[in-house]
Chain A
């Protein structure tokens, strides 16, 4: 039987991981809620963020990579939206699913060609190597930094959505984009921007996750699957639903490790299935633009 300290340390791990999962899912749910598309390429954008950081960190250092990699990924997102995804708006959602799935597959191949088939581990930056003494346990300094950065970026997303005029337009667009346009707002540009922001958020999550999970060509799956589960849990396009869903996934995975270590990957799917039985739109879900 695990001891109280085990619970506490796995609980802390769960929250740290949960914040990272929330960060991974926030861009995905934003695109789904505001543009109404399921972006299968979210995972590969996450992987690109990690790989850019892997390349940039040696020459530029952690902080520069933390800023520049997501910007590059955001730019790639904008290009993908302009060249491909926008042609699918207003058509059957299946087209966009197939298109972004194709982008995800080719992206992963591209990563293999550029960076090789094998994975690489990335050391945590020197200033957060080692552990800190919390009194009752030693805890990895990098994990704490990861939690703080994830929470900070989530807070910035919240500030953007809730406190800026453009955030209001984005939220209104999730509800009735035709009306937003009739009031003189350029919806097409807003969608490009949201796609870019969502991509950059996937990228920054990749940068932060890299020292924890190391980089591999297939690492996108570690992001896209939890993102799906979190959207199911939290409801489409809901900020707080995403945070709660992320924490729920992080905690359930961490705590499950203590009891059924071999099944811990399965736990989030079971959780999602149970929640769906009681709340078909997720915990915080409202009627979304996918239902008419």
Chain B
């Protein structure tokens, strides 16, 4: 579904991604791990068109999307749940969801289905985004992206900064999404939870992919995992 092939990305002069390659098949859940500053967010932004790689190729459903504008990439079917959630604080929950709605991308996710799936959002629908807790904001960020009915969701550190009990809740939702057959790339620093719901896993360090393989392998071998993370 997605093939990232040897991309090199920069911020101004700073070379941040070095020949990063990864692949995601339809229906897979894949995790991308690496410590802070490894280049995970930059990889996600490169896929989304928010950072334009200087070389390499990104193919999505067979189309070369490198160089496309972000809104066209989103309309093609890639949904982003960004790091730090980026909720529109000046809008109510309902309006936040409306910004994510893409009526031209028909699919199962409608306002009704989102409210059914995230009952707390329905209760909070008239509350301003800036007045939500971290966990509520994360739910909203996921729901907002689902309303675009993406074929592939990129989730950048969806459990970052959340209380353990809320992390459980977010993971439960991701597991439920997985059941529906949607393709997901989960980014985390190092998470056994992310690995436990993934088939495959990539690890990055200092802008390079340093490991790719089965998630179970790393799950069973914590020392290896820590060594790869450079910890």
A residues in contact (CB < 8 Å) with B = 165, 168-169, 171-172, 174-176, 178-187, 286
Residues of B within 8 A of A (CB): 48, 50, 69-71, 74-75, 80, 82, 86, 88-91, 95-96, 98-102, 105, 144-145, 148
B97 to chain A, nearest CB (A): 9
Q: State whether B50 touches A175 (Cβ < 8 A).
A: no
Instruction: Report chain A residues within 8 Å CB of B148.
Output: 183-184
One of B74, B88, B89, B96 near A182 (C-beta < 8 A): B74
Per a CB cutoff under 8 Å, which of B50, B71, B90, B91 touches A184? B71
Contact of B74 among A169, A184, A286 (CB under 8 A): A184
B75: chain A residues within 8 A (beta carbon) = 184
Q: B89: which of A175, A180, A181, A185 is its contact (CB, 8 Å)?
A: A175
- Dominant secondary structure at the A interface: helix
A171: which of B80, B90, B105, B144 is its contact (CB, 8 Å)?
B90
Is the Cβ of A175 less than 8 Å from the Cβ of B90? Answer: yes
A184 touches B89 (CB 8 A): no
Chain A residue nearest in CB terms to B92:
A168
Instruction: Check A181–B95 contact: CB distance below 8 A.
Output: no
B99 touches A183 (CB 8 A): yes
**Closest residue on chain B to residue A165 by CB atoms:** B98
Compute how far the CA of A286 lies from the CA of B95 in the bound complex, rounded to whole angstroms.
Answer: 19
CA distance A174 to B95 in the complex (A): 14
Contact A286 B145 (CB under 8 A): no
Q: Which of A185, A186, A286 contacts B99 (CB 8 A)?
A: A185
In the complex, the chain B residue whose C-beta lies closest to that of A185 is B71
Q: Out of A165, A172, A183, A185, name the residue touching B145 (CB < 8 Å).
A: A183
Closest residue of chain B to A187 (Cβ to Cβ) is B71
- Given A182-B48, A183-B100, A184-B102, answer yes or no on A172-B71 (Cβ-Cβ < 8 Å): no
**Taking the nearest CB of chain A, how far is it from the CB of B111, in angstroms?**
11
A sample of 10 cross-chain residue pairs with beta-carbon separation below 8 angstroms, ordered by A number, consists of A168-B96, A169-B99, A180-B88, A182-B74, A182-B82, A183-B148, A184-B74, A184-B100, A185-B99, A286-B90
Known: A178-B70, A184-B74. A171 touches B48 (CB 8 A): no
A184 vs B103: C-alpha distance in the bound complex, in angstroms? 11
C-alpha spacing A186/B69, complex, angstroms: 9
Residue on A with the closest CB to B101? A165
Contact of A180 with B99 at beta-carbon distance under 8 Å, contacts A171-B90, A172-B88, A175-B88 already known: yes
A175 to B96, CA, bound (A): 12
Complex CA gap A184/B144 in Å reads: 11
5 tightest CB-CB pairs across the interface, nearest first?
Answer: A184-B74, A168-B95, A172-B88, A179-B86, A181-B70
Q: A165-B101, A185-B71, A186-B71 are in contact. Are A179 and B82 (CB under 8 A)?
A: yes
Q: How far is the CA of A181 from the CA of B90 in the complex (A)?
A: 17
CA of A26 to CA of B119, assembled, Å: 37
When chains A and B are docked, how far (Å) is the Cα of A187 from the Cα of B98?
Answer: 15
Let me know if B91 and A178 touch, CB within 8 A: no
Complex contacts, A184 vs chain B, CB 8 Å? 71, 74-75, 100, 102, 105, 148
Evaluate contact between B99 and A181: CB separation under 8 angstroms: no
A179, B144: Cα distance in complex, Å: 11
Contact A178/B101 with A171-B91, A184-B71 known, Cβ cut-off 8 Å: no
Residue of B nearest to A189 (CB): B71
Task: Give the residue name and chain of the A residue nearest to B150 (CB).
Answer: A184
The answer to whether B69 and A182 touch across the interface, beta carbons within 8 angstroms, is no
- Known A-B contacts A168-B99, A181-B70, A186-B71; A174 and B144 likewise in contact (beta carbons under 8 Å): no
Complex Cα–Cα for A185 and B98 (A): 11
B145 proximity list for chain A (CB < 8 A) = 183
- With the chains together, A171 CA to B130 CA distance in Å? 14
Contact present for B101 and A176 (CB under 8 Å): no
CA distance A183 to B144 in the complex (A): 8
Kindly identify which residue among B71, B82, B98 contacts A168, using a CB–CB cutoff of 8 Å.
B98
